[in-house]
Amino acid sequence: MKSVDISAETTIHVKLLSENAWDETVIGFHQDARPQFDKKLDAFKFYSGNEALLGIATVADHLDTANSGDPVNFDQLSISMWPIPEDDLSIDLFIRKGSQTEMTLVNDMVDSFDDNMCLILQDKELGNTVSFNQGESYTFEMNPESSATRFSILVSAPLQSEVVSESCENENDGEAIAFGFGSAPWDFHWRNASGDTIRSTIESYAPDTIQNLPPGFYEVIVTNNAESCTSAEKLVIIEPAPEEWADYAVLATSCYDVNEAAVQLKLAPQYDWDVRLNDEQSSPLHECQSYTGDTTFTGLPAGTLTIDLTSNCGNKLTIPWIQTTSPKA
């Protein structure tokens, strides 16, 4: 049986409170989740079947089975885990008022939240749309005519970015692109690890690019002119250039005048390499340019060989004393 890691990128704890009762539902985002009910990640709506008790859950819809082929009662199911959103997402809430009328919805906690998503509570009955980030609440009345699904939580699409890490050691040529959050125009503000603003772009209708970055941690803040979800921020990491390395293995040795030796060359795969394999007199046996990955040289003579390497960054490496002589020679 395959185990499932149910840790989530973000979990939102939403409480429904009345004067003398409360209930809670959890909305999570998981890389393996689906927008339909999944018995490995999702749950039943309510801990009790007593209709007189207050309750809150998310709505499971568009379902035929509970991921098993067996008939199920969808009125009892709740979607707890959703795919990590790439676009704006609307999640319907189901309110069971029981014997209560005056209630409050509270965003009690957002776990692992990095200010990269914005939450909005929509009251479809009254036409209200309010901010619903951590710690915020909304008080309402459930009348006999009120729909159990009058509320939705709108989750904004997270702030998207792309990163190009440093190409060669000490080049400091990292690059990052931030895309707009919400409706254009956008303001982009980039900060370094010390909190200093290193770039600002105002009233832009296009993604913003920052270049020539040394490896390190950066923060981008994007703002817009919307009434809700006006800003988002994201940590951007520029990785240093990978180490330039080369290694080898003698796969076969040779007796003199037979040329049966074989040498495998292993290269840092992030770079292109010019390669020259030399014999004992430093004369080239093999030469290749802009080579990437590992290779095996065969038909090599007995002796002490060397390999000269130049990366596309211009750095030179030499592998000396490659012994290909057979012990029997």
Domains along the chain with CATH numbers: 10-155 (no CATH), 161-238 (2.60.40.10), 246-323 (2.60.40.10)
User: Token digits for 113?
Assistant: 């939240």
Q: What mean pLDDT, rounded, does the chain reach?
A: 85
User: Token digits for 327?
Assistant: 């012990």
The per-residue pLDDT for range 268-308, each reduced to its tens digit, is 999 999 999 999 999 999 999 998 989 999 999 999 999 99
The per-residue pLDDT for range 228-281, each reduced to its tens digit, is 778 888 899 999 999 999 999 999 999 988 999 999 999 999 999 999 999 999
Q: By the 8 A CB rule, do 82 and 104 touch?
A: no
- Determine the pLDDT at residue 311: 97
The per-residue pLDDT for range 35-94, each reduced to its tens digit, is 666 666 656 565 556 667 788 888 755 444 444 444 445 555 666 777 777 778 888 898
Q: By the 8 A CB rule, do 233 and 195 touch?
A: no
**For residue 293, which phi and psi values (nearest 5 degrees)?**
95, -165
103 three-class SS: strand
Q: By the 8 A CB rule, do 31 and 58 touch?
A: no
Of the candidates 68, 96, 94, 64, the one whose C-alpha atom is nearest the C-alpha of residue 79 is 94
> What does 202-243 look like in DSSP terms, one character per residue?
EEESS-EEEEEEPSEEEEEEEE---SS--EEEEEEEEPPPPP
- Determine the pLDDT at residue 99: 80
- How far, in Å, are 10, 92, 178 from residue 6 at the CA level? 11, 22, 29
- Determine the pLDDT at residue 179: 93
- Determine the pLDDT at residue 37: 66
Q: By the 8 A CB rule, do 83 and 35 touch?
A: yes
HSE at residue 115, side-chain half, CA atoms within 13 A, is 11
The per-residue pLDDT for range 142-151, each reduced to its tens digit, is 988 899 889 9
Bigger pLDDT: 126 or 26? 126
Q: What is the rounded distance in angstroms from the CA atom of residue 119 to the CA atom of residue 70?
A: 35
Beta carbons within 10 angstroms of residue 258's beta carbon: 12
182: pLDDT confidence band, cut at 50, 70 and 90?
confident
Q: Is the dihedral of CA 62, 68, 73, 76 positive or negative?
A: negative
Residue 212 has pLDDT above 90, yes or no: yes
Of the candidates 82, 136, 107, 97, the one whose C-alpha atom is nearest the C-alpha of residue 18 is 97
Residue 3 has pLDDT above 50, yes or no: no
